[in-house]
Amino acid sequence: MKKFSQLALPYIIWSIIILLLPVLLIAFYAVTDSGNTVVNFSFTLQNFAKFFTDHDFLLILWRSLSIAFKTTIICILLGYPIAYFISQCKDRTRNIFVLLITLPMWINMLVRTYAWIGILSDGGILQSLLNLLGFKSTQLLYTEGAVLLGMVYNFIPFMILQINTSLSKMDKSLLEASSDLGANRYQTFWKVTFPLSIPGVISGIALVFLPAVSSFFIPKLLGGGQYFLIGNVIENQFITVGEWNFGSAISVIMAFVMMAIMYLVRYVEKRNSGNRKEKKA
């Protein structure tokens, strides 16, 4: 046991340096004045007050939460049927579909997002196709729709894979028992399949919502600087303005917002799970 602890020590030290110290540094900057150093500093909550008293920042926060929510809902509505279809396939066919879904993920997300610029831009593939079909030219790129499309495209594989995992691991005998008890396919799905797949949906929500709400390069590329999200504000404060303290404060606020949302999602999932157990009893 002692030897194992000694072997784990380098990993523990590395984890502290890579994971803990950056978080502590962000927290330090968030509660100190601009221009302070680690040696000479004074604590303040002014950075947080600046954010919550500025209508524009609150509006951007709401916009970020809104588009992350829309992205998550669309990923569930599109991803669940796809995952359900894949889970019903034979093992070899299922593996092929999983490979096809994960294949684009091997390409850098930035490159994949750049590809959509060529598709949505004026004179691009989609615009040319719409003109060919007789539709009037309309602005596709640098809109909320373009940002939403880019997020759904980049994050929906996470939703599909998580739900597919839950559905594939489901005990098939439960479905057979439901059928034997007289339930049709519709009733079996809503009373057996869907409730048992909820853990996969919850995991998918976490893997979609969290990166969507803090994304900065997707709205930057597909929104063209005209659709600002909270991730862009944080990037701007750190890189352009040089206000590390205010940028750190926004980062801390977003961390608490995301933790609160995930706690709420987990609470709802546990409550539904408890209700199902009570019904069984």
Smallest CA-to-CA distance from 213 within 27, 11, 71 is with: 71
Structural domain contains residue 95: yes
How far is Cα 138 from Cα 131, in angstroms, rounded to an integer? 10
Return the pLDDT at 3. 60
Task: Residue 220: give the domain boundaries.
Answer: 56-280
* Mean pLDDT, the chain, whole residue set: 87
3-state secondary structure of 32: strand
Question: Which of 27-36, 98-107, 130-139 reaches the highest mean pLDDT?
Answer: 98-107
How many distinct structural domains can be found in the chain? 1
Structural domain contains residue 16: no
Return the pLDDT at 160. 96
Between residues 132 and 69, which one has the greater pLDDT? 69
Return the pLDDT at 140. 84
Structural domain contains residue 5: no
CATH label of the domain that carries residue 192: 1.10.3720.10
CB–CB of 126/140 below 8 Å? Answer: yes
Structural domain contains residue 270: yes
Structural domain contains residue 60: yes
Kindly state the average pLDDT of the residues 93-111. 91
Return the pLDDT at 148. 95
Q: 245-277 pLDDT, tens per residue?
A: 999 999 999 999 999 988 888 887 777 666 555
